[in-house]
Amino acid sequence: MNLENERIETVLITGANGLLGHKLVGLLVQRDQVKVVATGLGCSRLPDSYQGYYEWETMDITSEEEVFRVFELYKPTVVIHAAAITQADICEEQQDEAYAVNVQGTAYLINAAAQFQSYFIFLSTDFVFDGENGPYAEEDTPCPVNYYGETKLAAEQLLQNSQLNWAIARTVLVYGVAEGLSRSNIILWVRASLMAGKTIQVVTDQIRTPTLVEDLADACFLMMVHRSKGIFHVSGADVLTPFQMATLTADYFGLDKRLLIPVNSATFTQSAKRPLKTGFIIQKVQNELDFEPKSFTSGIGILAKQLKLADS
């Protein structure tokens, strides 16, 4: 993938300490024509191997003053907005904080980007849908069933109503690993549990199209290169239940599938309701950006190699 012309891009990434942020920085620092401005709360937790190839700025997106200071300093040509409170239960329990970060923070970023005419990519979620009729295409009508989905939809609408050149990348159940990050995902959870001989309950009545984080980072880069406009559904192509994902994980690592207990969603008490059947139809991003995601099994293999490297 090459930039279409020789312009120098200054790319500001929010949430750079997160999983997608790690992968975006790692991808973009390899590009000669790109200056990367990584932002997040507190100090950088990016790998030492990236040092010297990006600028780090501590930026609380709920502070309008901090946002405008950083934009004034770097004048970004591109913003990739990945910062958010993404845990649905936390959003349900702490709605004021979720609104401040997911909605008001996005508003500050949009206002700052407008001053510098930055191209704006916003990361959103399948949780903007109610899960009644998934998998979903871009033109399907959102109807969130939890507060997390409500905040992301509200932020989408702010961007859509702005004068910016923008793209929204909705995604589903992102998985992967990155150096220095401890947050788990379904593959790591299943692998660790079965290796320890624990039985685990895994739901069979939800469907998703799980997304390898490297694929999501690639899609964001393609959007940036092409200055794509509009909403794009970016995910894996495999439509799977969590139980099927767990089974594939057990098969890959040669672990005992008998420890997987199939249950339905009603088994669990959670603060936030989950949409049952989401997942995405990804023909638009495939056709317009030549995006081709890895299969879930291939994604497990990529993750497994990264775990092996980290342990060596």
For residue 311, pLDDT over 90 is answered with: no
Residue 197 pLDDT exceeds 80: yes
Average pLDDT over residues 268-290: 96
In this structure, what CATH number is given to the domain that contains residue 37? Answer: 3.40.50.720
Reduced to 3 states (helix: H, G, I; strand: E, B; else coil), residue 17 is: coil
Q: Which residues pair with 207 in a beta bridge?
A: 277
Is 257 inside any structural domain?
A: no
Task: Judge whether residue 90 has pLDDT over 70.
Answer: yes
CA atoms of 2 and 150, how far apart (whole Å): 36
**Residue pLDDT, tens place only, 123-150:** 999 999 999 999 999 999 999 999 999 9
Length of the chain: 312
Residue 66 predicted with pLDDT over 70: yes
In a domain, 107, yes or no: yes
In a domain, 80, yes or no: yes
Q: Report how far residue 221's alpha carbon sits from residue 3's, in angstroms, rounded to the nearest whole number.
A: 9
Whether residue 128 lies inside any domain: the answer is: yes
* Contact indicator for 301, 256 with CB cutoff of 8 Å: no
| Torsion sign, CA atoms 70, 159, 273, 283 | negative
CA distances from 267 to 92, 205, 243, 270 (A): 19, 11, 14, 10
Q: How many domains does the chain have?
A: 1
pLDDT in tens, 208-261: 999 999 999 999 999 999 999 999 999 999 999 999 999 999 999 999 999 999
pLDDT above 90: residue 6:
no
309 inside domain? no
Q: Which domain holds residue 50?
A: 9-178+211-235+280-294
| Three-state secondary structure call for residue 196 | coil
Q: Single out the catalytic residue among 74, 119, 147, 148.
A: 148
Q: Express each pLDDT in 151-178 by its tens digit.
A: 999 999 999 999 999 999 999 999 999 9
Please report, for residues 157, 179, 218, the alpha-carbon distance to residue 223 in angstroms, rounded to integers and kept in the order given.
19, 26, 9
CA dist 50 and 143 (Å) reads 40
Q: What is the pLDDT of residue 296?
A: 98
Inform me whether the pLDDT recorded for 1 exceeds 80. no
SS3 assignment, position 207:
strand
Residue 5: pLDDT band with limits 50, 70, 90 = low
Question: Is 138 within the bounds of a domain?
Answer: yes
Give a yes or no: residue 199 inside a domain.
no
| CA 135/CA 166 separation, integer angstroms | 24
Residue 2 has pLDDT above 60, yes or no: no
Model-wide pTM > 0.85: yes
Nearest to 158, CA basis, from 202, 99, 215, 212: 99
148 noted as active-site residue: yes
Answer yes or no: is 267 within a domain: no
Contacts of 148 (CB under 8 A, 6+ apart): 85, 86, 87, 88, 91, 92, 98, 102, 125, 127, 272
Average pLDDT over residues 175-186: 88
